[in-house]
């Protein structure tokens, strides 16, 4: 596996089982100031991308394993079509089926000009289909695809952050509302308790005022007059 030093340049993952073709692709890409990683099979490409076929999300989409995910961002994958084991078309399908990898542009190369093959790859999501040997003019077509994906990701990031902030505000607002409702309920309960206490005091006072000792007339100091 060949890999250039990490920097701010676009990073291309080149996949080809032919050493000669890999060297040619690497030289052309580096001439155009791309960062390049080369592998000789589709399975190694998926391994580099962090793809893990054993993990599937709720929509049954192939995902990547966080522990295997590469820190180096890949901006484009260019792969040979005819390779032993996993073909370039199979690799394309794996990438496009992944919820985490599907936005990476994929370009297919082949030494055979087969219209049905070209159509199938483009319908599956390939950005380009180049005939070998690859030329510098072909490499020049790669940058727009990477630029478009980069701008898309940059535009989606603020939207995602804004959505998360709004969700946090809503959650905080709901918590504040619940607290206000609780405080209101406690205040009403306290008012009811105070009112009940006042009523009890009034009732007790009235009962004391109407007791037999207080209502019986005093006759001890009166003189009884007889007719």
**Strands 2-3, 35-39: pairing kind:** antiparallel
Q: Which two tokens stand for residue 222?
A: 């009166």
Whole-number pLDDT of residue 65: 45
Q: What's the pLDDT tens digit per position in 34-85?
A: 999 999 999 999 999 998 765 444 334 444 444 444 557 899 999 999 999 9
**Looking at the domain assignment, is residue 143 inside a domain?**
yes
User: What DSSP element (H or E) covers 43?
Assistant: helix 42-49
Mean pLDDT across the chain, nearest whole number?
79
Rounded distance, CA 149 to CA 143, Å? 10
Q: What is the DSSP string of 91-140?
A: HHHHHHHBTTTTTS-EEEEESS--HHHHHHHHHHT-SEEEESSP-HHHHT
**Looking at the domain assignment, is residue 131 inside a domain?**
yes
Whole-number pLDDT of residue 217: 53
Q: Is the peptide bond before 26 cis (omega within 30 degrees of 0)?
A: no
pTM of the full structure: 0.63
Q: Which is more confident, 86 or 70?
A: 86
**Looking at the domain assignment, is residue 75 inside a domain?**
yes
Whole-number pLDDT of residue 4: 42
The CATH number covering residue 37 comes to: 3.40.50.2300
**Looking at the domain assignment, is residue 102 inside a domain?**
yes
Whole-number pLDDT of residue 187: 77
Which stretch of 57-71, 103-117, 127-141 has the lowest confidence by average pLDDT?
A: 57-71
**Looking at the domain assignment, is residue 217 inside a domain?**
no
| Mean pLDDT of all residues in 76-101 | 96
Residue 101: count of CB within 10 angstroms of its CB: 20
Question: Buried b vs exposed e over 118-132: b needs ≥16 C-beta within 10 Å?
Answer: beebeeeebbbbbeb
Domain hosting residue 37, numbered range:
8-159
Q: How many domains does the chain have?
A: 1
Q: Which residues contact 48 (CB under 8 A, 6 or more apart)?
A: 1, 13, 37, 39, 70, 74
**Looking at the domain assignment, is residue 25 inside a domain?**
yes
**Looking at the domain assignment, is residue 104 inside a domain?**
yes
**Looking at the domain assignment, is residue 54 inside a domain?**
yes
């Amino acid at each position: 596996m060949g890999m250039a030093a990490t920097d701010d340049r676009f990073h291309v993952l080149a996949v080809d089982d032919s050493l000669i073709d890999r060297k040619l692709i690497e030289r052309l890409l580096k001439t155009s100031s791309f960062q390049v990683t080369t592998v000789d099979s589709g399975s190694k490409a998926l391994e580099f991308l962090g793809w893990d076929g054993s993990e599937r999300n709720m929509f049954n989409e192939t995902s990547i394993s966080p522990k295997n995910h590469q820190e180096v961002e890949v901006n484009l994958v260019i792969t040979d079509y005819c390779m032993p084991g996993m073909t370039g078309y199979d690799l394309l399908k794996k990438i496009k089926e992944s919820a985490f990898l599907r936005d990476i542009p994929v370009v297919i190369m082949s030494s055979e000009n087969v219209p049905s093959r070209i159509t199938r790859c483009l319908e599956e999501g390939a950005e380009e289909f180049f005939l070998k040997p690859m030329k510098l003019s072909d490499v020049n077509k790669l940058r727009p695809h990477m630029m478009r994906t980069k701008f898309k990701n940059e535009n989606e990031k603020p939207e995602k952050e804004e959505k998360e902030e709004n969700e946090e505000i809503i959650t905080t607002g709901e918590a504040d509302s619940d607290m206000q409702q609780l405080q209101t309920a406690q205040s009403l309960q306290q008012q009811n308790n105070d009112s009940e206490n006042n009523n009890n005091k009034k009732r007790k006072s009235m009962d004391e005022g109407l007791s037999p000792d207080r209502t019986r007339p005093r006759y001890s100091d009166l003189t009884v007059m007889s007719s």
